Structure 1
Amino acid sequence: MSQILDKVTILEPMNPNKSTALFGGKASGILNWNDVAYPHFYTHREQIRALFWRASEVDMTQDIKQFPTLPEKEQAAFLKIIGLLATLDGPQTDMAARIAQFSTDPSVKSVMATIADQESEHNHSYAYVLSSVTTLDQQNESFETGRKDQILLKRNERIMQVYNEFALHPTIENVLKAMVYTALLEGLFFYSGFAFFYNLARNQKMVGTSTMISYINRDELQHGRFISDLFRAALAENPGNNTKEFTDWVYDQFRHSVEQETIWSRYVLDGVDGIDLVEMEGYIQYRANKMLRMLGLSEIYKDHPENPMKWIRAYVDNFDDTKTDFFEQKSRQYTKTSDLNGFDEL
């Protein structure tokens, strides 16, 4: 039976400052970054904090003018995808906080607090975008997508089950499963939606929205890196959970998630000019392979070791301008409203 986790007390001075375990261990609650169990978590913290931005600093002037001129199919996809992103990002603020509540390691709590703040801004950004380009009725309808759209409800069934199971029954096994789905969310579930906005941008449409999406994308890449590291470390600390049964469960979730993401992309993107649905399916499988490697597992989609949608690389950030397995392209510079120059660098 998997170890049941208790909410961690805030301050226990009799315990050591360096945590004895990520989950289910002991720690004083005093965070000394020079004496932590996983020193490289500090690098994650600094990288995530370096990405600070606010939705209100992105210029939406041209988007306000352009949205009514978009073809009906693009307007509908725009609103549905914003609804999808809000459905996924909204719970992430809570999920980050809940993982922090059950982690014994104060360095994990610190990083998760930063992630939670960024996820909150992501959710705010969707409301900011919609309030800029649509009526209040359309805004509210878009945010209802996650509650009413049957394709989206089916798509999100398993993540809802895994997240709620962790919330109701916090065990080592369930926090590991929640981290798998957090990695899937950060590294796979958003990506057909991101591609839609990047496709608009390469046609000089809705550039402000796409710029906002690129900042969210950049954040999610960093979140995915940290969650993957945390998952691998927690699994190493709990070898009793590192079983063939659990590994098979992870692979099954990836296959199911790819299937659902593919169904969603066909549903929402069919007929959108510039989107090749066959390429999109390959891109989804490519993203799944990358996330599996991040979690320490093997690729399962052998036909897509490389990104089939080469054009999207211009919109995906690469931190520090270095080529790595996870971050691929030159970073778009963060520019505030006062000096926004569009996409001249692309």
Structure 2
Amino acid sequence: MQKALLEKAKTLEPRNPNKSTGLFGGKSSGILNWNDIAYPHWYKMYKRLVGNYWQADEINMSSDVKQFATLEKSEQDAYLKIIGLLSTLDAPQTRTALLISLYATDPSVQSIMAVIAQQEAVHNESYSYVLSSVVSLDKQNKSFQFGRKDPVLLKRNENLTKQYNAFVEEPNIENILKTMVYTALLEGMFFYSGFAFFYNLARQNKMVGTSTMISYINRDELEHGRFISELFRATLAENAAYNTAEFTDWVYETFRSSVELELEWSSYVLADVDGIDLDEMSGYIKYRANKMLRMMGLSELYPEHVDNPMKWIRAYVDNIDGTKTDFFEQKSRQYSKTSDLNGFDDL
């Protein structure tokens, strides 16, 4: 099959209809009327995303400032390495979301991806914010070097890096679909051993400010994973020539290899952390992989892991409205925002 390169969507082309004729490679005027879009339910997704607005410096880190020095050395090391991991994953997401929007010929996708890109930028800023709260600039910089230098992390991110860069070099339908697969993995599985570490600290009443921030990132990522999964299914439906057994096998193999790399990483970074059972973590990673496969319209790879083996995590994750996607079902927690009276500058 010839893999024709896609052109970037025109910014404004009044001769084309407002309702796009295709998600990628279609025709659209560039004018967005939310009441006349190809996938009307995506307006609700857009509204949920913009309703999640928050900023990193709204979260009060005063207790974390005092507590970090009292953590076990293994907890401090894991904290810094996991922040390094999360920043390595979130930083490219801002650009990847923008790149997808550049080739999307549906203006509703462009708008939703713009919100996702903005939220990923906030996530990345938040990692700088929490580190600046608890460690010196030298240690902050060292944490942000992990994604470039740590051999286990480099190995873990290698396949994702190759695919994201392939999309930049060859923007065709196949690479967009494959990039969405890795994005769904990133939003729905890659973050979660890291999230679990911070929630484990919080259930011991440690670093609650960091955990609160992570829960808001987690909430965003659940919505991002939901939309990317739907965009993947819709794009595949519109480009049926790619809906082949060969491509499905590639998706399953990508999930398998990604799960193995995630297991290796979590064992490496969490081995000495009290309160996390690595066998349970293994089951949780496979449980998350199953969730994302179902959302993408595929079968589970790990039938023995259909239930969450780490149910305690539910207390730390914000509720996502929508039982059809089977997300966590806990009520939203309140958090303390900083103000002029209790602001970070005064700490």
Give the structure-2-normalised TM-score: 0.96
The one-character-per-residue Cα deviations of 1:272-330 (angstroms, maximum 9, x if unpaired) are: 0000000000000000000000100000101111011111111122224x645432221
The one-character-per-residue Cα deviations of 1:165-200 (angstroms, maximum 9, x if unpaired) are: 001100000000000000000000000000000000
Amino acid at match of 1:4: L
The answer to whether residue 6 in structure 2 is matched with residue 20 in structure 1 is: no
The one-character-per-residue Cα deviations of 1:80-119 (angstroms, maximum 9, x if unpaired) are: 0000000000000000000000000000000000000000
2:295–2:325 contact (8 Å) kept in structure 1: no
Q: In the alignment, which residue of structure 1 is the partner of 2:87?
A: 86
1:188–1:287 contact (8 Å) kept in structure 2: yes
Q: In the alignment, which residue of structure 1 is the partner of 2:181?
A: 180
Rounded to whole Å, the distance in 2 between the matches of 1:214 and 1:8 is 35
Rounded to whole Å, the distance in 1 between the matches of 2:248 and 2:323 is 29
Aligned ranges 1:306-317 → 2 under 5 Å: 306-317=307-318
- Specify the SS of the correspondent of 1:66: helix
Q: In the alignment, which residue of structure 2 is the partner of 1:327?
A: 327
1:182–1:227 contact (8 Å) kept in structure 2: yes
Rounded to whole Å, the distance in 2 between the matches of 1:47 and 1:173 is 29
The one-character-per-residue Cα deviations of 1:46-94 (angstroms, maximum 9, x if unpaired) are: 0111100000000000000000010000000000000000000000000
Change (3 A) 1:259 1:86: same
Rounded to whole Å, the distance in 1 between the matches of 2:179 and 2:325 is 24
Q: Tell me how far 1:337 sits from its aligned partner.
A: 1.8
Q: In the alignment, which residue of structure 1 is the partner of 2:285?
A: 284
The one-character-per-residue Cα deviations of 1:197-238 (angstroms, maximum 9, x if unpaired) are: 000000000000000000000000000000001000000000
The answer to whether residue 103 in structure 2 is matched with residue 102 in structure 1 is: yes
Rounded to whole Å, the distance in 1 between the matches of 2:4 and 2:237 is 15
Rounded to whole Å, the distance in 1 between the matches of 2:323 and 2:63 is 33
- Specify the SS of the correspondent of 1:124: helix
Q: In the alignment, which residue of structure 2 is the partner of 1:123?
A: 124
Rounded to whole Å, the distance in 2 between the matches of 1:81 and 1:338 is 25
Rounded to whole Å, the distance in 2 between the matches of 1:264 and 1:213 is 19
Q: Tell me how far 1:334 sits from its aligned partner.
A: 4.5
The one-character-per-residue Cα deviations of 1:144-177 (angstroms, maximum 9, x if unpaired) are: 0000000000000000011000011000000000
Aligned ranges 1:154-169 → 2 under 5 Å: 154-169=155-170
Q: In the alignment, which residue of structure 2 is the partner of 1:297?
A: 298
Q: Tell me how far 1:332 sits from its aligned partner.
A: 2.4
2:34–2:40 contact (8 Å) kept in structure 1: yes
1:314–1:329 contact (8 Å) kept in structure 2: no
User: Which residues of structure 1 form unaligned runs of 5+?
Assistant: 340-346
Rounded to whole Å, the distance in 1 between the matches of 2:23 and 2:331 is 32
Q: Tell me how far 1:271 sits from its aligned partner.
A: 1.5
Q: Tell me how far 1:335 sits from its aligned partner.
A: 3.1
Q: Tell me how far 1:336 sits from its aligned partner.
A: 4.1
1:292–1:299 contact (8 Å) kept in structure 2: yes
Aligned ranges 1:133-148 → 2 under 5 Å: 133-148=134-149
